[in-house]
A and B are shown apart, each in its own frame.
Chain A
Amino acid sequence: MSHQQDVVLQLDKVTKKIGKQTIVDQLSFEVKKGEIVGLLGPNGAGKTTTIRMIVGLIGMTSGEVLINGQSIRSSFSKAIARVGAIVENPEFYSYMTGWDNLKQYQRMIPSITVERMKQVVDVVGLTDAMNKKVKSYSLGMRQRLGIAQALMHSPSILILDEPTNGLDPAGIREMRDYLKTIAQQEGIAVLVSSHLLSEIELMCSRVVVIQQGKFVHEQLIGGAQIQQDGNEEFNVLVRVNQLEQAKQLLVGREELQFIQANELTNELEIRCKDEALANYIHELSAHRISVYRVVEVKRSLEDEFLTWTGGNQIV
């Protein structure tokens, strides 16, 4: 049952129809405690609709969204009380100061103390800007105010729609590091939708891919992916001084699959398992072929994404 307790957000056959069009179709997935999950999909796949249904901004045609076991449909207040969210760009009352804006949300949730507000503001680095009107804020500052707003009530899940939109590289990195920190330290689950694949790749521990409103693929990425027992095949690029001879050594070995050779760079791409590679390198040394580099060829998330979604329209 510990599995069940760890699940913070659960979507069960969530469907949204508008007229005859099905925007989201029987979508199911889960987000567990401490996990950062990326929601990926081409344009119009239904990412934003899904996120809006999770936070109750849009009603669903059928299905169920549970947050800590509470239904967003039948017990909205209880379910949403544990959610912090930014839906698209965080919009504020621009004629008020940052602090006044946060006070608005504090009045709506009685448990938030002024100390907690100050603490969150400090964490996002906006302490000096609190008395300035939001209209004078940069986009990055607004994003951070958005994060502060979403974290004030110590939610168990943070839902972010395009969180790095409009941030500069430093801001993106800061945001990413920050999300990782709160996911690890406070055990907050994070669901992020983004169209920046590289960003998702660096930030998330798992991705859920949807297309035309349907679940397509689910994949662990980054550190979580290295749980291999040495039995998995991978591609590797080997740079040597004598390409032809190195290639000859491959002949007749089934465990070493030749992929391609690049004569300009003297590189050889092969596909094999851990042990086979080690043996091959011994072999190369025995034949006095110098090995300059051995690099694993990783398929980027973008490549994989295109395979999952059939390669049509990139997000």
Chain B
Amino acid sequence: MYSFLQLTTNEWLKLAKKRGFFIAFLIILLMPLGIAVVVKSFLEGTELGYVEFMQSVIDINGGGTLYLFLCMIYTASLVSGEHQLGTIKLLLIRPHSRSKILASKYAALLVFNIVLLLFALIVSFIICIVFFGMQGEGSMIDVWKTVLYTSVNTVMYTSIVFMLSVLTKSTGATIGIALCLVFVSDLAVLLLAKYEFAKYLLFFNLDLRMYEEGGVPLMKGMTLGFSITVLAAYLIAILATSFYVFKKRDVA
């Protein structure tokens, strides 16, 4: 366990020591700041509650998209970057199994997702307090729910990015394909909704907000339990593919 923590520390440092590392945090800081400034100066009299504000900063259809893209871009190079730098050769000749090394990379990905999300929450809370004061209705439980929905969506997408990074060995291709997937997903939902099998597709199950009170599931017969099962199956398949390929690969 200790050695796994050490490996994850290594992976985290590889991310964090990059020169542009702070840019993601800068963007996440500027977004709520921008929203607050615009609301304050152009929509006079509008008062924003902190729950509402925090939710909008991380919601899938709000600032959450930006958060998702940042997570995807930052984790895209986790595996492919090692191939492109050539450091993979020195990394894999250590007394650790390839599975363990890949697992530590996935752990670093999750840590990055969590850290960036926490940063977004803290920053948006502070900005809201500064601009609009402590007010508004709703409770923190609503915020945590939004955190959960955004996290499910982000973990699924970043896991796909992770797999692509293993498969393509190219950061550029990984980011390209992944962004395509994000944009295609809405279209796919639109086009395939008439087919019965579509409910088994990943894209149809990513947004769990549809099971909220007042929400409408995308298709008949879909329940929260159903979606969670489908998502879990996809996640297992994605990770199994990544680990299998990474373990078997001849590193040339």
Q: Is B111 an interface residue (CB 8 A)?
A: no
Q: How far is the CA of A165 from the CA of B89 in the complex (A)?
A: 17
- Chain B residues positioned under 8 Å from A93 (CB to CB): 14, 17, 85, 87
Within 8 A of A (CB), among B38-86: 85-86
Q: Could you say which of B6, B18, B87, B97 contacts A107, with CB atoms under 8 Å apart?
A: B6
B120-128, B197-205, B231-239, B244-252 - the one binding chain A = B244-252
Contacts of B215 in A (CB 8 A): none
Q: Which residues of A contact B13 (CB under 8 A)?
A: 96, 100, 104
Known: A77-B96, A77-B97, A108-B95. A91 touches B250 (CB 8 A): no
Is B17 a contact partner of A91 (Cβ separation < 8 A)? Answer: no
CB-CB < 8 A to B160: which residues of A?
none
Chain A residues 52-102 with CB under 8 Å of chain B are 52, 55-59, 76-78, 80-81, 83, 85-96, 100
Q: Let me know if B251 and A108 touch, CB within 8 A.
A: no
Which of chain B's residues have a CB closer than 8 A to the CB of A110? 2-3, 6
Which residues does chain A contribute within 8 Å of B6, judged by CB atoms? 107-108, 110
Are B7 and A88 in contact (CB-based, < 8 A)? Answer: no
Q: Does B94 contact A (CB under 8 A)?
A: yes
B85 close to A108 (CB less than 8 A) = no
A178 contacts the other chain (CB 8 A):
no
| Residue B9 CB within 8 A of the other chain | yes
Question: Which of B6, B14, B19, B90 gathers the greatest number of chain A CB atoms within 10 Å?
Answer: B90
Residues of A within 8 A of B2 (CB): 110
Closest residue of chain B to A106 (Cβ to Cβ) is B6
Q: Please list 7 pairs of residues, one from A and one from B, whose beta carbons are closer than 8 Å in the complex, sorted by A's number.
A: A80-B94, A87-B90, A91-B86, A91-B89, A96-B14, A107-B7, A108-B6
Query: Besides A57-B92, A109-B94, 8 other CB < 8 A contacts?
Result: A57-B89, A57-B93, A76-B95, A93-B17, A94-B85, A95-B17, A96-B17, A110-B3
